[in-house]
Amino acid sequence: MSGKRGNQEGSIYPYRNGFAAYVWVTTPAGERKRKYAYGKTRTEVHEKWLRLHSDAKAGPVATASPTLAEYLAYWLREVVEPGLKPKAAETYDMHVRLYLVPGLGSKRIDKLTVRDVREWVNRLGEACQCCAQGKDARRPEDRRRCCAVGKCCEQTLSRRTVQDARGVLRSALTNAVTEEVLSKNVAALVKVRSARKKQRHPWSVEEARAFLESARRDRDPLYPAYVLILVLGLRRGEILGMGWDAVDLDREIVMIEAQLQRIRRRLVHDETKTEASTAPLPLPGICSAALKLRRTAQDATRKAAGDCWTDSTFVFTTRYGNPIDPRSFNRSFTSRCRRAGVRVIRLHDTRHTCGSLLAALDVHPRIAMQILRHSKIAVTMEIYTHVPSAETRKALKRLGRSLDSAEDPQ
């Protein structure tokens, strides 16, 4: 019985220490090839053989399955990089490199199970990433302080990062299902505990005023950038990617249409994050004054640099005309917070102070509605009901009045 073929089962045969079978299938590339199945008993192989026949009737079947690491490399190269913005593609690549490949990369994509993914998610949330990635071990011996010297720092991932890593795996496997490499997405069947949103505590108008007054008093070259970030609610990349061709000081309008980001160790000047981010914004008086101040300061810097100056259209540049690195801008912002004696917050959190500053500057609600990009004036008016003290209002208006060129920061 063990060596005989069953009725109408000519493709099942003894193989090594068990049995093997094959079915002719159509691959996703449209080719006719044999798909093999193996097992220890004829019954086991027969069941696999029947499933192969069923799969072959349902649609294309892949005859050779790559490892997850191989498929992720293909997916990043052919799907993610051509289809997503550079920053998003870099984020996907980071999750694949740090979390997916080390944890699941060696497994064949067609053998990946729900249990594999669930166990990986659990390990990812519990493992010290300093140990897993060898961060401390890469430091010089005299600077090692935790995992490499036996003192685990317990640097675990946040729930949000674990959720994002699982999301990247799910996206990759969804693409594999679309390309008919897989029949189902096992990552979509694994539940991940959702992350709580962190409570942000942006500056009050008084703190923002103290910050701007400090930058103006110390003639900080980035004072105009801080004004635009706080009053217009612009993102860091939008400020650093702004060109003079987007600024119309006569009409008091600025067009937000580009951003500057550091991606894979180089600066990339690209379009804004979303279509909604690309918009003409009216310039309140304090912003127009700040941009005039910046233009005067940049002209003086250009003359001082002489032949070392690099021509560009950027509004904010280094002393030699090069674009400002986003990380350097962050460091300057943090340093200015400390000098001003205000709480150090994330640069992005300054966007939440924007509406209150517009109210303090007596900017007309309709103009504030455009700047804040609200669809209804009622939403804007809710912000305008929370007005700061008269002293703060006077101080902010004083910053926006005519600026004596003799006091301009260089």
CB 231 within 8 A of CB 284: yes
Which one has a higher pLDDT value, 239 or 25?
Answer: 239
**Residues 179 and 50 placed together within one structural domain of the fold:** no
Q: List the beta bridge partners of residue 35.
A: 23
Domain annotation covers residue 300: yes
Domain annotation covers residue 287: yes
Per-residue pLDDT tens over the stretch 107-161: 999 889 999 999 999 999 888 888 888 888 888 888 888 888 888 888 888 889 9
Least confident segment among 131-135, 184-188, 279-283? 279-283
Domain end, chosen from 189, 216, 237, is at: 189
Domain end, chosen from 132, 165, 189, is at: 189
Question: What whole-number distance in Å separates Cα of residue 342 and Cα of residue 339?
Answer: 8
Domain with 145 in it: 68-189
Given this model, what pLDDT does residue 358 score? 77
Question: What whole-number distance in Å separates Cα of residue 236 and Cα of residue 260?
Answer: 8
**Residues 160 and 269 placed together within one structural domain of the fold:** no
**Residues 20 and 75 placed together within one structural domain of the fold:** no
Given this model, what pLDDT does residue 121 score? 94
Domain annotation covers residue 195: no
**Residues 389 and 243 placed together within one structural domain of the fold:** yes
Query: Per-residue pLDDT for 63 more than 80?
Result: no
Given this model, what pLDDT does residue 9 score? 43
What CATH number corresponds to the domain at position 348?
Answer: 1.10.443.10
CB 19 within 8 A of CB 12: yes
| Closest to 36 (Cα-Cα) out of 25, 53, 20 | 20
**What angle (nearest 5°) sits at the alpha carbon of residue 401, between those of residues 399 and 404?**
90
Domain annotation covers residue 226: yes
Per-residue pLDDT tens over the stretch 298-312: 999 999 999 999 999
Alpha-carbon dihedral of residues 298, 302, 304, 309, nearest 10 degrees?
A: 140
**Residues 217 and 162 placed together within one structural domain of the fold:** no
Per-residue pLDDT tens over the stretch 383-404: 555 555 666 666 666 666 533 3
Which one has a higher pLDDT value, 259 or 173?
Answer: 173
Domain annotation covers residue 4: no
**Residues 281 and 343 placed together within one structural domain of the fold:** yes
What CATH number corresponds to the domain at position 121?
Answer: 1.10.150.130
Q: Is 119 exposed, middle or buried (0-12, 13-18, 19+ CB in 10 A)?
A: middle
Mean pLDDT of 339-353: 88
**Residues 75 and 157 placed together within one structural domain of the fold:** yes
Question: What whole-number distance in Å separates Cα of residue 218 and Cα of residue 336?
Answer: 10
**Residues 174 and 132 placed together within one structural domain of the fold:** yes
Given this model, what pLDDT does residue 85 score? 86
Given this model, what pLDDT does residue 407 score? 41
Query: Per-residue pLDDT for 362 more than 80?
Result: no
**Residues 230 and 162 placed together within one structural domain of the fold:** no
Distances (CA, A) of 356 to 37, 217, 384: 67, 23, 7
Mean pLDDT for the chain overall: 84
**Residues 292 and 240 placed together within one structural domain of the fold:** yes
Question: What whole-number distance in Å separates Cα of residue 86 and Cα of residue 88?
Answer: 6
Domain annotation covers residue 199: no
Query: Per-residue pLDDT for 380 more than 70?
Result: no
Tally of domains within the chain: 3
**Residues 228 and 320 placed together within one structural domain of the fold:** yes
Domain annotation covers residue 197: no
Given this model, what pLDDT does residue 203 score? 87
Question: What whole-number distance in Å separates Cα of residue 140 and Cα of residue 362?
Answer: 56
Per-residue pLDDT tens over the stretch 223-267: 999 999 988 888 899 999 999 999 999 998 898 888 888 888 888
**Residues 39 and 94 placed together within one structural domain of the fold:** no
Domain end, chosen from 165, 189, 213, is at: 189
Domain annotation covers residue 123: yes
Given this model, what pLDDT does residue 130 score? 87
